[in-house]
A and B are shown apart, each in its own frame.
Chain A
Amino acid sequence: MPSQCAVCKGKGLCGLPSCPITRRFHALKDTRPVSEYMGASPSVFVGSYGYPRVVGGPLMINDTDNPLDWVRQGFSIDDIVSVRSRTIRGGSDLDVKIPNIGKVQEIALSAKPLDVEVAFEKPVSFDINFDGTVTPVGMSGAMKKLDVIDNASVSRIVDRCTSDTDLKATEAARIMFENGTDVYKITNLLTAGLLGVKRRVVPTRWAITATDDMISTSIKREVIKMPALPEYQVFCGTLYGNTLCFILIPSNDWRFEMLERWQKHSLWSGDEETIVVDGEKGLSKPKYSPIAGAYYSARLAVLEYLKSIGRCARVLCIRDISGEYWAPLGTWVIREAAHESLSHHPDRVGTLGEAVTSASQKLGTSFWIPKMGLLKDIRQQKTLFEF
């Protein structure tokens, strides 16, 4: 198995025609092909293949498709895969530069799932595809006809941000987030070409990371001006085999470093475990992270926390993935795992040594200690005021 799998997560960097790992889940199930659908459409999806001529349309399922609900209702990975297997992705050809995709936009705008009637060109059958960033979808088919039956009910803040064509997407995302719109909604609006000055339809995969990045960059601007955290805090939590541990280190100097370990025989690793580390300092992050969407999701979660307590810190984040995470469900898993981790009571300690020990205990391993450059840096680098 190529060693780059953990970085690529199914994007196709190895050059093989299809990803050998995601193909494992390319299961076939006995569902009867359907040629039309009547029911709810909670969100929209746009593929990235063939950009700028992409395929996109409504996602159709008579069930919730918001990950927050799945977590709240205690869904297992199997439950989620099953929900997604029943989800149909309707597609029609789109040119990203012509974002006037009326009916699809209505679905993205609406605060509650809209009822739609769809006729497919050919009956759609079960054909699930997995990928690291986006949530899997069970069936997909080209649409002959799409009718939206309901009227969209649009929240005031979403209405304001999407109808203002002088408001940049970054600003719009920030305003909506601050007013309680969740990232899943904002991602949907961005995907459907409803945000920004020069509007574009944005493939969902890109919109997910873009939303995380836009929001976290604006929170970062506030956090770096806040006073330093008064003590070391260690958080740890697990969701779907993803253990996320955060070590918050008092400092005025915002830094973030994330380590991701795919344990032996877990999803993206083979017989050897795979470790990827990436980090940043200051306001901007120059390159796309090799940890991919997970990096941006985890960073957003911890910045939200820092903002909520009004403090600045340096952050070490360790994501340890066990074999229990058997199907890639998308970046939202990391976002919710991070929220889960940060919702616990932290271990509050007075020294870096205690914080590292506490994190090692919670994680049950200390392999990460020598791998984290920021930790080494903090331990070795003196400050001027120590003299």
Chain B
Amino acid sequence: MLKATIEADIFRETIDAVSALVNECRLHVDEKGIRTITVDTSNVAMVSLELSASAFLTFAAEPCEIGLDIEKIRSMMSMIGKTDIVSLELDDSGKKLKISFGGYEYSITLLDTKTIRKDPNAPNLNLPATFEVPGAMFYDAIKASGMVSDKISLAVSADTCVFTMNAEGDSDRIKRELAGDDVHYITCADARSLFSLDYLKDMGKSIGRAEKVQIRLGTDHPVQFSFVYAGGKGSVGYLLAPRIEAD
């Protein structure tokens, strides 16, 4: 059972964060809130999201699983006004979700949760460098890098504690260094990995809205991004596997 109302903005950010990587997901609902964890079809990127019951205006739920077609909801989102209140209600059979906003009532058929791949286990990673940067600053660097290349290296130097983003294309190069007040280190250590910009651009839109994003980085290891939204009541984690330039 699920019956809840939520501000349009928070609803939109929730959907955007997940739709960056997948078209469908399994949503776990209980009295504490909602959560999901899923990987994209190529097993390269993972998203985990939690939104606590307190982020909703009203929230009543009993534990259940919902198979969401994120694409369907995303295509409907342009209809939702900025200040609308979105109300969500699961029908008794658990097969349809009613989404109402601004006079509209939208009923979407849910996916059978058996057809959605099972929740992945997050890999155990040892990522030595942990630091925080402003989300918008990070996303800007990603957008700029996308103009010259399809991959980017993220690196931290233990000596200087400078965070460097470096994108090299066939002929051009873009480098962005963050240091001083722009980076807040929790642990500063040597780390350098290369990532596909395709994925980072998709994740970047959500990261860009966060005031601060925590980055955990290793050498030739996945990178982890985590940030909060909805006034700290929601949290998103992304994990992205690296590219290895072997040849």
Closest beta carbon of chain B to A222's beta carbon, Å: 13
Complex Cα distance, B246 from A326, in Å, reads: 41
Interface presence of B170 (CB below 8 A): no
In the docked arrangement, what's the CA distance between A387 and B246, Å?
A: 17
Q: Is A251 an interface residue (CB 8 A)?
A: yes
Q: A224 vs B247: C-alpha distance in the bound complex, in angstroms?
A: 30
- Contacts beyond the supplied A382-B241, A383-B42, A384-B45: 7 A-B pairs with Cβ under 8 Å: A252-B43, A253-B41, A253-B42, A379-B247, A381-B42, A381-B44, A385-B123
Cβ of B32 within 8 Å of any chain A Cβ, yes or no, is no
B245 proximal to A (CB < 8 A): yes
A384 and B44 within 8 A (CB): yes
Residues of B within 8 A of A253 (CB): 40-43
Task: Tell me the nearest residue of chain B to A386, going by C-beta.
Answer: B241
Chain B, interface size category, equals 20 to 34
Determine whether A380 belongs to the interface, using a CB cutoff of 8 Å to chain B. Answer: yes
Chain B residue numbers with a CB within 8 Å of A379 are 246-247
A384 adjacent to B244 (CB under 8 Å): no
SS class of chain A's interface: helix, strand, loop or mixed? loop
Q: Are A383 and B41 in contact (CB under 8 A)?
A: no
- CA A225 – CA B23 in complex, angstroms? 12
Instruction: Count CB-based A-B contacts (< 8 Å).
Output: 51
A251, A382, A386 — which one has the most chain B CB atoms within 10 A of its CB? A382
Measured between beta carbons, the chain B residues less than 8 angstroms from A387 are: 123, 125, 221-222, 241
Q: How far is the CA of A225 from the CA of B117 in the complex (A)?
A: 10
Q: Contacts A379-B246, A380-B246 known; A385 to B43 CB distance under 8 Å?
A: yes
Residue among A224, A252, A380 facing the most chain B CB atoms (10 A cut-off): A380
Within the complex, what minimum Cβ distance (angstroms) separates A225 from chain B?
8
A382 CB contact (under 8 Å) in B41, B46, B115, B242: B242
A-B contact pairs, 26 of them (CB 8 A): A224-B41, A251-B42, A252-B42, A253-B40, A253-B41, A253-B42, A377-B196, A379-B246, A379-B247, A381-B42, A381-B243, A382-B44, A382-B222, A382-B241, A382-B242, A383-B43, A383-B44, A384-B43, A384-B44, A384-B239, A385-B43, A386-B241, A387-B123, A387-B125, A387-B221, A387-B241
* Chain B residue contacts of A224, Cβ below 8 A: 41
- B90 surroundings in chain A (CB, below 8 A): none
| Bitwise interface map of B from 86 to 115 toward A, beta carbon under 8 Å scored 1, else 0 | 000000000000000000000000000001
Closest chain-A Cβ to B114's Cβ sits at a distance in Å of: 12
When A387-B221, A387-B222 are in contact, do A381 and B241 touch as well, CB less than 8 Å?
Answer: yes
Q: Which residues of the partner chain B approach A225 to less than 8 Å between Cβ atoms?
A: 115
Task: Name the CB-closest residue of A to B117.
Answer: A252
Give A238-253 as 1s and 0s: 1 = Cβ < 8 Å from B's Cβ atoms.
0000000000000111
Of residues 167 through 209 on chain B, the ones whose CB sits less than 8 Å from some CB of chain A are 196
Tell me the bound Cα distance from A336 to B84 in angstroms: 55
